[in-house]
Structure 1
Amino acid sequence: MSSLDPITMATQLATYDVQPFQNRYQMQADSYLAQMTALGKVESALREFRTAVNAMNSTDSNVIKNSASISQEGFFSAKADASAMAGSYQVFVEQVATAHQLSTGMPANLDSTTEVPTTGTLDFTINGESLSVDLSTLDTDGDGKATMTDLVSAINNDPDNPGINATLVRSNGQTHFMLSSTETGVANTINVSASGTGSTWFEDAFTNTSNISTPQDAVIWLGAEGTGLKLENSSNTFTGVIDGVDLTVSKAQVSGEAPLTLNIGADSEATKEQVNQFIDAYNTLMSTIDEHTGIGGEDKSRGVLASDPTLRSIESQLTSLVRGEFEGMRLSQVGITLDRSGTMTLDASKFEEAQTNNSAALEAMFNGEGNLLDSIDAMANPFLQSTSGLFKSRKDSLQQNISRIDDKQSTLDRKYDMAYNRYLKQFTQMNTLMTQMNQTMGMFG
């Protein structure tokens, strides 16, 4: 009579006891994980679609894109947003805005280690704001001394600095202490003085300053120089000087030159490109939903989220919106249609015709308050909220199911251990008896 291997037998029987439960738990866990993955992909596609929607529906971006062109480059640039009206304008650049830079009358033998007073104050005013540097705070190590480097650092790092940069510039073997305004324009002229320091050379240095760069405002003319509308600005960027148009000047023209021509008009290619991004994002979203909600067939497996109410709700609401009417118009009237499979397509020539002949109505349909793009954003919001969105709720629920399966698996592991120990004990005893019987039979052999 052959002996048994108790470990092998106990392992096989204990596994047989728990295997049906293990298989069931694994199938459930795999299903929940697959659903979470699919929900994550649809959520990502919906976010990308909403991003495309918002790119066409912000304060400075509509479905209609405008462009700005200038008759001669190099003097100014222009940016036109969706509110800019088409037209031609004459612009003459008289001067560009500059920042104030000045050099202080420091001694010729100045360098970064030159000691400065540690009593009194260094006071600045610029554009109606003030800064007072207490020189006693320059001595950070308590040795009673401070250097030019310490002074530069104190000015630049002061939390109340109103827009002044201090720097040490080395030229021809000499070091110069310079002050610069961080902003352009006459209003940003730097005024500086030192007092109460007990140091004549230090206080004189800030009395005897010299301009390296004189501050000035930018000046342009809408129309010809001297006869048009004169505009001044502390910055080189004139915001909204023409409705929906920002101008940034970079170089002054010579007095007497003819003004430059600025043309504002619709940018049909940029508009079409933006609409195509919207269409691509829509199709990606809908194909992702279809992939995971399909009922399956002969050559296609059933989607892990087939008949899922959350995804069906997204699909139903979105389809209704893109087929709907806003401001008396539908997408189909401007060349954007859904084919039999639900794929959105663009008839470029029809869209260009609508853009050319009825751009105001086109814009109103897309961008009017509460119209198509607003409605899409409002539809997507309940699904995508970070703390209480429907996608988050669904994924949290699935994760809880997975956690419960993990708990069941832990219980099953304990059941396996108990069964294994029981079978091991039984087969060990049986093996001992078989060994004794074989020995007894051998005595009569």
Structure 2
Amino acid sequence: MSMMDPITMATQLATFDVQPFQQRYQLQADKYQSQLSALGKVETALREFRTVIDKMNSATASVIKNTATLSQEGNFTANVDASALNGSYQIFVEQVATAHQVSTGMPAGTTADTQIPTTGTLDFTLNGEAMSIDLSTVDTDGDGTATLTELAAAINNDSTNPGINATLVRANGETHFMLSSTDTGVANTINVSASGTGQAWFEDAFTNLTDISTPQDAKIWLGAQGSGLALTSSSNTFSDVITGVDITVTKAQAAGEQPVGLTIGADQEATKEQLNAFIDAYNNLVSTIDGLTGSGSEDQQRGVLASDPTVRSVESQLSNLLRTQYNGKSLMEVGLSINREGKLELDTERFEAAQANGSSSLEAMFNGDGNLFDSLDQAIDPFLKFSNGLFKTRKDALQQNISRIDDKQATLERKYQMSYDRYLAQFTQMNSLMTQMNQTGSLFA
């Protein structure tokens, strides 16, 4: 009688016992893993779409871009936002704003280590705010004396400092104690006095101040100097003097010079670049969803997420919002439409015409509470919340299914091992019996 290999037979039969379950579990695990991966792709595309929206929808950013052109550079710059109206202006810069800077009247021979009184106060006022330095607290190294270096540090580090910097400046062998306002304008004039110190030289130093830089407000004229509209600002930036335009002056003009021309107009290329980024991000999202939710055909495999309601809901909600009217107009009226494939297309000529006719009304369609970008962001938010978003919930459920299958496969491994051990024992015993029979038979041969 021929012998059998117990290991081979035990392996084959144990595998036969668990193989149908292994195949079913693997098919289920592959399905769940494919869905998990596909949901991740849709989520990534949706996050990228929202990122593009957020970049164009903030207090300082919008989809519409305007531009400012100057007839002469060097006197001021202009920053324009989407609310700026097309137009031409004449601006004359009479003076720029400056900060107050003074040198205190310290006696000759003053150095950084010159000792100052440790009694009395040094009082400051600036633009209606006050700061008082108690000279008994200036000594920070605990050596019993206070120096000008320690005084400068005490002023600069005081929690009530209204905007005054103290510095020590060395020039021609002399050390000068300087005070500077951090802000420009007449309102930020430094006022200081020392009292109760018992030392006249110190109190006189803060009485006898020398202006290094006199504080002044910026002044411009809308129109020619002397005959236009005069405007002043404590800083060098005039915000919203012209709707949607911030003017920052940098250099005063000489009396009699012609004002600088400022022309505000639509920046169509920059706007179109932003709008195309929005279109590309949306179309990428649609392509991703369509590629994973297709119903299938003879030539195309059924999408992994073909029956997933969460993903279909994303596309449906966003598509509906793109067909809604904003600021009394539909997107199609300004050149933005959805084609038969569900993707966005831009009619450049129609959009440029709409921008030329009124960039502020066009911007109001896209930006602001309740308008396009805000509506899209609100629709997207429930899907992408980190703690309880719909995508996270769906992915967590799939991951739990995969974990359960892993548990079943672990159980199956144990079942296989038990079957293998049983079959191995049986065939080993059978081989032993066959060996004994063969040996007995050989006695009668």
Task: Calculate the TM-score normalised by the size of structure 2.
Answer: 0.83
Give SS of 1:225's match: coil
Give SS of 2:285's match: helix
Q: Deviations over 1:190-219 (max 9, x none)?
A: 222233344444333322322211111111
1:416-427 equivalences in 2 (<5 Å): none
Which residue number corresponds to residue 41 of structure 2? Answer: 41
What value does the CA root-mean-square deviation take over the aligned residues?
3.8
Residues of 1 paired with 2:116 and 2:10: CA distance?
Answer: 89
Equivalent pair of 1:60/1:82 in contact (CA under 8 Å): no
1:9-48 equivalences in 2 (<5 Å): 24-25=24-25, 27-48=27-48
Structure 1 residue 173, shift from structure 2 partner: 3.5
Equivalent pair of 1:322/1:372 in contact (CA under 8 Å): yes
Structure 1 residue 171, shift from structure 2 partner: 2.7
Structure 1 residue 245, shift from structure 2 partner: 1.3
Which residue number corresponds to residue 106 of structure 1? Answer: 106
Residues of 1 paired with 2:436 and 2:110: CA distance?
Answer: 107
Which amino acid in structure 1 is aligned with residue 393 of structure 2? Answer: S
Which residue number corresponds to residue 163 of structure 1? Answer: 163
Equivalent pair of 2:354/2:362 in contact (CA under 8 Å): yes
Structure 1 residue 429, shift from structure 2 partner: 8.8
- Deviation larger for 62-71 or 194-203: 194-203
Residues of 2 paired with 1:12 and 1:169: CA distance?
Answer: 93
Which residue number corresponds to residue 253 of structure 2? Answer: 253
Which residue number corresponds to residue 293 of structure 1? Answer: 293
- Deviation larger for 323-332 or 1-10: 1-10
Residues of 2 paired with 1:177 and 1:425: CA distance?
Answer: 99
Do the aligned partners of residues 25 and 140 (structure 1) sit closer, same or farther apart at CA in structure 2, a change above 3 Å counting?
farther
Residues of 1 paired with 2:4 and 2:154: CA distance?
Answer: 87
Equivalent pair of 2:86/2:263 in contact (CA under 8 Å): yes
Which residue number corresponds to residue 132 of structure 2? Answer: 132
Unaligned runs of 5+ in 1: none
Which amino acid in structure 1 is aligned with residue 285 of structure 2? Answer: L
Which residue number corresponds to residue 69 of structure 2? Answer: 69
Which residue number corresponds to residue 83 of structure 1? Answer: 83
Q: Deviations over 1:113-146 (max 9, x none)?
A: 4444443332221111112223333334433234
Structure 1 residue 358, shift from structure 2 partner: 6.8
Structure 1 residue 13, shift from structure 2 partner: 7.7
Which residue number corresponds to residue 223 of structure 1? Answer: 223
Residues of 1 paired with 2:203 and 2:417: CA distance?
Answer: 88
Which residue number corresponds to residue 317 of structure 1? Answer: 317
1:323-402 equivalences in 2 (<5 Å): 323-326=323-326, 329-357=329-357, 362-363=362-363, 365-367=365-367, 370-402=370-402
Q: Deviations over 1:293-329 (max 9, x none)?
A: 2334556544332221111111122223334445664
Give SS of 2:352's match: helix
Structure 1 residue 93, shift from structure 2 partner: 0.6
- Deviation larger for 68-77 or 433-442: 433-442
Which amino acid in structure 1 is aligned with residue 96 of structure 2? Answer: V
Do the aligned partners of residues 2 and 351 (structure 1) sit closer, same or farther apart at CA in structure 2, a change above 3 Å counting?
same
Equivalent pair of 1:323/1:331 in contact (CA under 8 Å): yes
Give SS of 2:131's match: strand
Aligned length: 445
Residues of 1 paired with 2:304 and 2:407: CA distance?
Answer: 24
Which residue number corresponds to residue 176 of structure 1? Answer: 176
Equivalent pair of 1:88/1:263 in contact (CA under 8 Å): yes
Which amino acid in structure 2 is aligned with residue 242 of structure 1? Answer: I
Give SS of 1:179's match: strand
Residues of 2 paired with 1:158 and 1:430: CA distance?
Answer: 96
Q: Percent identity?
A: 69
- Deviation larger for 199-208 or 274-283: 199-208
Do the aligned partners of residues 12 and 192 (structure 1) sit closer, same or farther apart at CA in structure 2, a change above 3 Å counting?
farther
Structure 1 residue 435, shift from structure 2 partner: 11
Do the aligned partners of residues 414 and 183 (structure 1) sit closer, same or farther apart at CA in structure 2, a change above 3 Å counting?
farther
Residues of 1 paired with 2:153 and 2:431: CA distance?
Answer: 87
Structure 1 residue 57, shift from structure 2 partner: 4.6
Do the aligned partners of residues 174 and 306 (structure 1) sit closer, same or farther apart at CA in structure 2, a change above 3 Å counting?
farther
Structure 1 residue 389, shift from structure 2 partner: 2.6
Residues of 2 paired with 1:228 and 1:415: CA distance?
Answer: 95
Give SS of 1:230's match: strand
Give SS of 1:207's match: coil
Do the aligned partners of residues 412 and 117 (structure 1) sit closer, same or farther apart at CA in structure 2, a change above 3 Å counting?
farther
Residues of 1 paired with 2:166 and 2:6: CA distance?
Answer: 86
Which residue number corresponds to residue 284 of structure 2? Answer: 284
Equivalent pair of 2:84/2:360 in contact (CA under 8 Å): no
Give SS of 2:206's match: helix
Residues of 2 paired with 1:298 and 1:265: CA distance?
Answer: 54
